Amino acid sequence: MRPKPKTKLCELLNIKSCQFQIKQLQTEDMPKVIEICQKIFLGMGSIVDDPWQTEFFTDFQYSVKAVSFGRIIGCYLLCPSSLDFDKEDYTFYENTENYKSKKGLFGNVLALKPKYHGRGFGKQLRNVPLAYPFDYIWGYHLKSLNNLDHWTRFGRRVIAESNNCYMTLMDLGQPNILDPRTE
């Protein structure tokens, strides 16, 4: 029986760091990112159905792409923005008044191509804003995604709800992890 190699091929070839990277998103990445997101959220009535709106709520200073062997495989689109305090059609479950003086970050779209799920890449993407200098992060979650538990386990709390979406928020403390972006 052949002995199990101690070093993985990618390490031998010194390409480990190329396997998965989180990089700052560039304007020219948007068509590819939107294509990936549209496939994932197909028919759900998500923001990515409207590329103009998706880009409007994407700040290239904070948004990131996930890259594997030079190809974009996912993204976390982020944008500095206060939460929608008076969002029509939403029932609020808490008084958000004290957030009016705080610095908010809107988590617009988090997505990773399905074949890369379950390897910890999505988690790394999800952690990116934890290193950013904001007081809180918030976002919408389509009920049809059925993933609210994932977000509440992570630390988000439901602050409001509409017929088809939850609005969640998480306080961000001082930067607590290193910025995982590689460039």
Residues that bind ligand COA (CB under 6 A): 40, 110-112, 117-123, 125, 141, 145, 147, 150-151, 153-154
Contact of 48 with 109, CB cutoff 8 Å: yes
Taking CB positions, which residue lies at the least distance from ligand COA? 122
Minimum separation from the CB atom of position 37 to ligand COA (A)? 8
Q: Which is nearer to ligand COA, 60 or 116 (CB)?
A: 116
- Minimum distance of ligand COA from residue 3's CB (angstroms): 30
Give 12 or 42: the residue with its C-beta nearer to ligand COA: 42
SS3 category, 82: coil
Which C-beta is closer to ligand COA: that of 100 or that of 150? 150
As measured in angstroms, the least distance from the Cβ of 47 to ligand COA is 10
Phi, psi of 98 (to 5 degrees): -70, -10
Task: Determine the distance from the C-alpha atom of residue 165 to the mean position of all C-alpha atoms in its chain, rounded to a whole number.
Answer: 17
Tokens of 81: 């923005």
* Least distance (Å) between residue 15 CB and ligand COA: 21
Quick one: which H or E segment has residue 52? helix 51-56
SS3 115: helix
How far apart (Å, rounded) are the C-alpha atoms in residues 183 and 6?
30
Instruction: Return the number of the residue (100 or 147) whose C-beta is nearest ligand COA.
Output: 147
